[in-house]
Amino acid sequence: MMSDKLIIFDTTLRDGEQSPGASMTKDEKVRIALALEKLRVDVIEAGFPAASLGDFTAVEAVAKAIKTATVCALSRALQKDIDQAAAALKMAERARIHTFIATSPIHMEKKLRMTPNDVVAQAVFAVKHARQYTDDVEFSPEDAGRSELDFLCRILEAVIAAGAKTVNIPDTVGYNLPHQFGGLIHNLIHRIPNADQAIFSVHCHNDLGLAVANSLAAVQNGARQVECTINGLGERAGNASLEEVVMAVRTRQDIFTCNTQIDSTQILTASRLVSNITGFAVQPNKAIVGENAFAHESGIHQDGVLKHRETYEIMRAEEVGWGANRMVLGKHSGRNAFRDRLKTLGCVFNSDEDLNAAFARFKDLADKKHEIYDDDLQALVSDTFATENERIRLVHLKGETETGEQPHAEITLSVDGQETTVDATGSGLVDATYKAIEAIINSGWHLQIYSVKNVTNGTDAQGEVNVRLDKNGIILTGHGADTDIIKASAKAYVNALNKTFNLEQRTHPQV
Ligand code: KIV
Ligand code: ZN
């Protein structure tokens, strides 16, 4: 009998972080992990500890913070990777080691330069080694989507016999079509003699825009774990989006014989948090979490929805957290109300100083903006965390613009406590501000993307600025929010520049 539970394995912190420019700090990862726990995901893949010291300590911190979900660490099928994964997971209440090796002819021959026999032996060794640390071991044949069926059956049978409790089938390069991928899962489950001793999982990439469709086809054919990410973040075109998989299965219970334990009302909060932290904006027409996902523009649709909601709506917006963006706090709200509301939004402060810093900013914002919404609070908190421990700090900014004159900015930055003031002109105030910052820092980084978006409606709304910088193929993002968009722009640029101090050499798991 197939289980009716669909396990949600979130890999936002691992594969999601492999999106160029989406790297997260340890504290940011813990904040996202706590939001994922609130969302009630079953497994949180927290990172790849062998990649760098930063990755190791982030997995360790997530393992310590999470109480109910399983915390998983990725490792290549190498003894040293597995040992590091186990060490990083030491504090976890529930720990999983996820080990993988490539199985497609092209990967085995060109990348690994190993024979199929050696790959099977290495996979079995890795699973047995990981089982010395935990009973919860997952194995992935990387590039399974382009591997030969007979070889997949052989290696999966061997790793299940060696103790793998979950076998995950990745469509690493997003090559498969739904009927084909569903067929692959069906064949594996029916052909592998010990298939009933493991849970079959899928991990689909979105290169052809089919990651969610392929994952759902796999679920219909017996997969009982889906690996996915918030907002579909992930390597290249991303992974299957958690919110789409969860809501498809929930909405189409007439088709699916399983369901998840996700608290869907937390979806929007998690989506906004990930977007704020990574600086990856959610497109307006993105299913479930896009600004327009539940907005009806045409008169006929609006009329229909008013008469009977189901005429044009297949889900309720409230089910995924929309409509909960209440005006909650104002100028007269106290610290406790502020802290409680943020707790509901998944933001917990590590210390009284952090709370006080955020509260001071809240008071400042409440002076400028009458009504404070949840979105404002999230932007404000992201901004507070982003400026913690920064070596470069924005001290003062003055901008002048006049018809017929060149815009002009004067800026004071503190770098390691030393203040410098310069002024610069530019084609606009943002350009002048960025030129002034560069006159002080002389970073050599190139501004690749600049975007500004209003957090809520009205001309007194906060503007949220995201920037992406690149140098020698390395990408960094920065984020800033303020009711003054020139200030928000300066904060975003300074935030990105601060990240240049913490660049670490990292090993990519799949290289
Ligand atoms: O896409 C992939 O194959 C992966 C594996 C490491 C599971 O991310
Ligand atoms: Zn992947």
Sign of the Cα torsion 173, 267, 31, 502 reads: positive
Q: Return residue ranges of the chain for CATH 3.30.160.270.
A: 392-502
Q: Is 15 in the pocket of ligand 1 (CB under 6 A)?
A: yes
Fold of 392-502: Double Stranded RNA Binding Domain (3.30.160)
How many angstroms does the Cα of residue 233 sit away from the middle of ligand 1?
A: 13
What tens digit of pLDDT does each residue of 50-68 get? 999 999 999 999 999 999 9
Cβ-based burial of 442 (10 A; exposed 0-12, middle 13-18, buried ≥19): exposed
pLDDT, average across residues 476-492: 93
Q: Is 383 in the pocket of ligand 1 (CB under 6 A)?
A: no
Q: Is 170 in the pocket of ligand 1 (CB under 6 A)?
A: yes
How many angstroms does the Cα of residue 391 sit away from the middle of ligand 1?
A: 35
Structure tokens at 1: 């009998």
Which bound ligand lies closest to the C-alpha atom of 98?
Answer: 1
Q: Is the pLDDT of residue 305 over 80?
A: no
Pick from 11, 18, 100 the residue to mutate for probing ligand 1's pocket: most ligand atoms within 8 Å of its CB. 100
What tens digit of pLDDT does each residue of 83-137 get? 999 999 999 999 999 999 999 999 999 999 999 999 999 999 999 999 999 999 9
Question: What gap in Å lies between CA 124 and CA 130, rounded to an integer?
Answer: 10
Question: What gap in Å lies between CA 191 and CA 476, rounded to an integer?
Answer: 46
Q: Return residue ranges of the chain for CATH 3.20.20.70.
A: 7-278
Q: Is the pLDDT of residue 393 over 80?
A: yes
How many angstroms does the Cα of residue 146 sit away from the middle of ligand 2?
A: 14
CA-to-CA separations, 492 to 31, 268, 407, in angstroms, rounded: 20, 23, 20
Band (324; pLDDT cuts 50, 70, 90):
low
Structure pTM? 0.90
Q: Is 142 in the pocket of ligand 1 (CB under 6 A)?
A: yes
From the CA of 144, give the closest atom in ligand 1. 3
How many angstroms does the Cα of residue 189 sit away from the middle of ligand 1?
A: 20
Q: Is 107 in the pocket of ligand 1 (CB under 6 A)?
A: no
Q: Is 45 in the pocket of ligand 1 (CB under 6 A)?
A: no
pLDDT averaged over every residue in the chain: 93
Give, using CA atoms, the residue closest to atom 1 of ligand 1. Answer: 172
Q: Is the pLDDT of residue 300 over 90?
A: no
- Domain 7-278 indexed as CATH 3.50.30.10: no
